[in-house]
Amino acid sequence: MDTDLELLIKFWDAFVNCAPGEAERLRQVYDEKVNEIAQARKLSPLILDRAVQRAHQRWQWADDPKFSRDLRKIRFD
């Protein structure tokens, strides 16, 4: 996995799983990182954000034992 994508997924996971008092600060840090990486790679921040959220969802599914193995093998890349 690309190191920038992995970093953004971890930032997003921290935001999703944080205490309510920290949410605003973590979202701001996440948005800054998305903008920084998007600018460096000449991507749209909105598209990068969507890709991160999709990858985060797949990352969570991989840990869910109820999620079908056949569906886990599907590649969306």
Q: CA 39: distance to chain centroid?
A: 17
Cβ neighbours for 4, distance < 8 A, ≥ 6 positions apart: 37, 41
Q: How far is the CA of 11 from the CAs of 17, 60, 68, 74, in angstroms?
A: 10, 14, 27, 25
pLDDT score recorded for residue 4:
87
pLDDT score recorded for residue 57:
86
77 pLDDT above the threshold of 70? no
Greater confidence, 71 or 42? 42
Greater confidence, 63 or 59? 59
How confident is the model over 6-60, as pLDDT tens digits? 899 999 999 998 888 899 999 999 999 999 999 999 999 999 999 999 988 887 7
Q: Alpha-carbon torsion 55, 59, 60, 62, what sign?
A: positive
